[in-house]
Structure 1
Amino acid sequence: MSAFLELNGVTKRFGGLVAVNDVGLTVEQGQIYSLIGPNGAGKTTLFNLISAVFRPTSGSILFEGKDLTRLPTHALAGLGIARTFQNLAVFKHETVVNNLLVGMHTHLKSDPISAAIFWGRTRREEMKARDRVEEIIDFLEIEDIRDHPVGTLSYGQQKRVELGRALAVSPKLLLLDEMVSGMNQEEREDIARFILDLKDELGMTVFMVEHDMGIVMDISDHVCVVNYGRKIAEGTPAQVAANPAVIDAYLGAKRSAA
C-alpha cells in the first residue's frame, strides 16, 4: 500500500543555488505532519514544490500514488489538496461568505446555459455550496462576522477566513503555510484547536510549515527538520526536540537569539 503523500529524492535548483537537496519524506493519512527549520532552510520552497507552485529539478512527489510533479497548480484542488498562504490571499472587498464560496468552485460542474438561467443542476449545486459554507462558518466560529467585508476584519480573523476557504475544497490533504504567524496567543490557541479538530473529527491529513515551536510540539504527530535544503532529522516531537542536530541548527539558534 502506497503512502498518502511521499517525496522521493526531491531536489530544486535555482541556477547555482540548491534550495532543496535530495529530500525524502512520507506522510501517512490522518497525520498532522510539521516541517520546521531555521530561516532560509528551504521549508517554503519544499512546500511550494508539494503544492505545485514549483516543479522539482529531480525526484518525485506522489499523492495517493499519483505523481504531482507535472501537474498544473489548479489541478491539485480536484485531487483533494488545498493550501493556505503565509501572506493573506483573501478578497478583502468581499464578505466572509463570498470568500468561502470561492473555495467551492471545484465542486460546481454546471454548464453555462444552466448557470445563466440559474435552474436545475446549477440551483442544486448553489444550495449545496451554501450549506457547506454554513458548516465551515459554524466550525470556525465566525458566525458574527459572516457578512462583513474581509478587509474590515482583524488579521487573525482574516487568517481564519483563509483557512475556511481552503476547507471549502473539502480537502483530503490540507497544506498550512505559517498559519499562526502574526497572531496573538489566543488566536494561535484557537487555530491549534481547529487543526486538531480537523484531524480528530474529520480525519483530515494536515501538512504544515510552522515557526511556532509550541504549536508544532503540542499538536504534531510527526516532525521533519530541514537545514540548508537537506533533511537533518525526523520523528515524533519528543524525538526531534532531543536530536542534537536539531538543537544545533534550530532550537539552539533560537535560544541563542533570545
Structure 2
Amino acid sequence: MTALLAVENLSKRFGGLQAVADVSLRVAPGEICSVIGPNGAGKTTLFNMISGVLRPSGGRIIFDGIDLATISPWKFAAVGIGRTFQNLALFKHGTVVENILTGRHTHLRSTVLDAVVFFGRTRNEEIAARQRVEHIIEFLEIEHIRDAVVGTLSYGQQKRVELARALACEPKLLLLDEMVSGMNQEETEDIARFVLDIRDELGITVLMIEHEMRIVMDISDRIHVLNFGRKIAEGTPDEIRRDPAVAKAYLGGQRAEAMAKAGA
C-alpha cells in the first residue's frame, strides 16, 4: 500500500546540535502510528518538520504524493495535515465555538468584499463551517461547554478543544503531540477512545507522540522509537515491547539486562 506519509532520511541541525539524524518512517492510510522515545529524543522536532514549523536540514517529507519542500508551510493544513501541540495554543479569551471555527480557515474562499456584503458564497461558507463545528462538538462530547470561554475551562477540556480545532480543518493526517499529558485516568481513556473513533469513523490517519505507554501499546498499529535523534526501532506494539534496544533506551543498560534475564 502506498504510504500517506513518507519521511526519508530526515535531519535537523541547530548549529552544532544534531536534533534529528537520518530518520525515515512511513505511515499508511488508516493507521494509528506512535513516535516514542526518552525526553530529548527529537520527537517534537520531527513533528515540527512534518507540520511545517521547521524546515529540515536534510531529507524529504512526502505527504499524499506531495514533496512538502515544494509548498509554503502555511499551505500544509490546506493539503491535509492537522496538528495539536504539546503546549496549548488556544485563544483563551474566545469561546469554544470561536476557537474551533478558526480551524475552518483553510476551507474559506470568500474575499474581503464578500465578507462585507455577507451574501451568497460567504453566507453559505459560514453556514457550512458552523454545521461542521457542531458535528465535531457532538463527536467529542463537549456540547455542555460549547459557549464557555476557553480560559475558564480545565486543562483536560482545553486539550479536547484543541483536538476539535485540529479536526475542523478536515485533515487526512492528524498529528497529536502529547495529547494525554497532564490528564487524569478518565480523561486519558476518553482521548484514547476518541483517537480510535477518529480513525474508524472519520477515516483520518493518526501519528502521535505519547509518553503514556499504556495508550501507545493499546491503540497503535505501529510504533517508531527515537533516541538521541535517531530511529532505533520500528514495529508492532508486541515487537517494540520485546526489543532490547528500546528497553535500554528507556531503562539504561544494566536494568534492561536484568529485566531481560528475569523474563520481564
| TM-score of the superposed pair, with normalisation by structure 1 | 0.96
CA separation in 2, counterparts of 1:150 and 1:60? 37
Q: Counterpart of 1:98?
A: 98
CA contact (8 A) 1:55 1:70 kept: no
CA separation in 1, counterparts of 2:213 and 2:179? 12
Aligned length: 255
Q: 1:218 to 1:119 in 2, by over 3 A?
A: same
CA positional deviation for 1:110: 0.9
Q: Counterpart of 1:146?
A: 146
CA separation in 2, counterparts of 1:235 and 1:187? 27
CA separation in 2, counterparts of 1:17 and 1:241? 30
Q: Counterpart of 1:109?
A: 109
CA contact (8 A) 2:2 2:28 kept: no
Q: Counterpart of 2:260?
A: none
CA separation in 2, counterparts of 1:49 and 1:111? 31
CA separation in 1, counterparts of 2:75 and 2:123? 25
> Which contiguous aligned blocks of 4+ residues in structure 1 show a shift greater than 2 angstroms?
69-73
Q: Which amino acid aligns with 1:102?
A: T
CA contact (8 A) 1:7 1:62 kept: yes
CA contact (8 A) 2:192 2:215 kept: yes
Q: Counterpart of 2:25?
A: 25
| TM-score of the superposed pair, with normalisation by structure 2 | 0.94
CA positional deviation for 1:2: 3.8
CA separation in 2, counterparts of 1:29 and 1:67? 17
Q: Residues 9-47 of structure 1: CA distance to partner in whole angstroms, max 9, x if unpaired? A: 111111111111111111000000100000111111111
Percent sequence identity is: 66
CA positional deviation for 1:72: 2.9
Q: Counterpart of 1:34?
A: 34
Q: Residues 28-75 of structure 1: CA distance to partner in whole angstroms, max 9, x if unpaired? A: 000001000001111111111111111111110000121113533211
Q: Counterpart of 1:7?
A: 7
Q: Unmatched 5+ residue regions in structure 2?
A: 257-264
State how 1:247-258 maps to structure 2 within 5 Å. 247-250=247-250
- Superposed CA RMSD: 1.4
CA contact (8 A) 1:52 1:71 kept: no
CA positional deviation for 1:164: 0.2
CA separation in 1, counterparts of 2:249 and 2:81? 31
Q: 1:251 to 1:33 in 2, by over 3 A?
A: farther
Q: Which amino acid aligns with 1:13?
A: R
CA contact (8 A) 2:30 2:199 kept: yes
CA positional deviation for 1:204: 0.7
Q: Judge which range, 66-75 or 198-207, deviates more.
A: 66-75
CA separation in 1, counterparts of 2:47 and 2:94? 28
Secondary structure at the residue paired with 2:73? coil
Q: Judge which range, 235-244 or 67-76, deviates more.
A: 67-76
